[in-house]
Amino acid sequence: MTISLGKRFIAEALGTFILVFFGAGAAVVTLMIAAGTNPATPFNIGIGALGGLGDWLAIGLAFGIAIAASIYALGRVSGCHINPAVTIALFAVRRFPGRDVIPYIVAQFLGAAVASLLFAWAVGPDAIAIGGLGATTPFYGIGYLQAIVIEAIGTFLLMFVIMGVAVDERAPPGFAGLLVGLAVAGIITTIGNLTGASLNPARTFGPYLGDWLLAGQSLWEFFPIYIIGPIIGAIAAAFLYDYLCCDE
């Protein structure tokens, strides 16, 4: 059965909405909790009662669960890319039609933007003033190029897993959502305190737009990091997977 582009557009927007509302939202809530501790705990050295790594694990699991839920609910509709880097990488290895690339990316950016704006409205000004809507930036001591490389490596692992458990027709059925979600959780736990672990241009775009429109910080100078790094990493992973794992 052929599913219309309109339905797939809605599915991509909804899946990305879920990713940003619950994933980036978890980062916002963690920052708001940290601001209420005595003394308040700076984000770049660990937040909340558990300390740095525990907090990033919690944020990573929120992202991972949101992604797994989206894949299981929407994967049969659109493939549940919910990430422009994934869409571009699949196109690069001829596993996704070029005519659908722009509609998918527009849907992903739209879903992310709506999620951030709705989260800000629902939670209130502290979501922006304290939580920054979960916007990703390089952390102290991480340079621009370093951040690009870190994001590329993180997205490489994510895309390599996607190729193995979701794209490859030989993969055992039923595990894609779980394994992709766990991969995201692990990646965020490791590199979250370095770059924010976006792995996804749309995930960064939503909070950036929300902060900018709602009188928060303007962080657009960092946006190229979260475009270049994820796209390079995803494309490299897709090509390497096809080289290593596909029959000649």
CA atoms within 13 A on the CB side of 241: 24
* Residues 192-237: tens digit of each pLDDT: 999 999 999 999 999 999 999 999 899 999 999 999 999 999 999 9
Residue 48's pLDDT band (cuts 50, 70, 90): very low
* Residues 140-165: tens digit of each pLDDT: 899 999 999 999 999 999 999 999 99
Range of the domain at 241: 5-245
Q: What per-residue confidence (pLDDT) applies to 168?
A: 92
Q: What per-residue confidence (pLDDT) applies to 35?
A: 80
* Residues 98-118: tens digit of each pLDDT: 999 999 999 999 999 999 999
Q: Are 188 and 56 in contact (CB under 8 A)?
A: yes
Closest to 108 in 3D by CA, of 24, 17, 235, 220: 17
Element (H, E) at 136: none
Mean pLDDT, range 67-94, rounded to an integer = 97
In total, how many domains does the chain have? 1
Largest CA distance in the chain: 61
Query: CATH number, domain at 226?
Result: 1.20.1080.10
Look over the chain and give the mean of its residue pLDDT values, rounded to a whole number. 92
Measured distance CA(127)–CA(120) in Å, rounded = 6
The secondary structure of the chain in percent helix, strand, coil, rounded to multiples of 5, reads 75, 0, 25
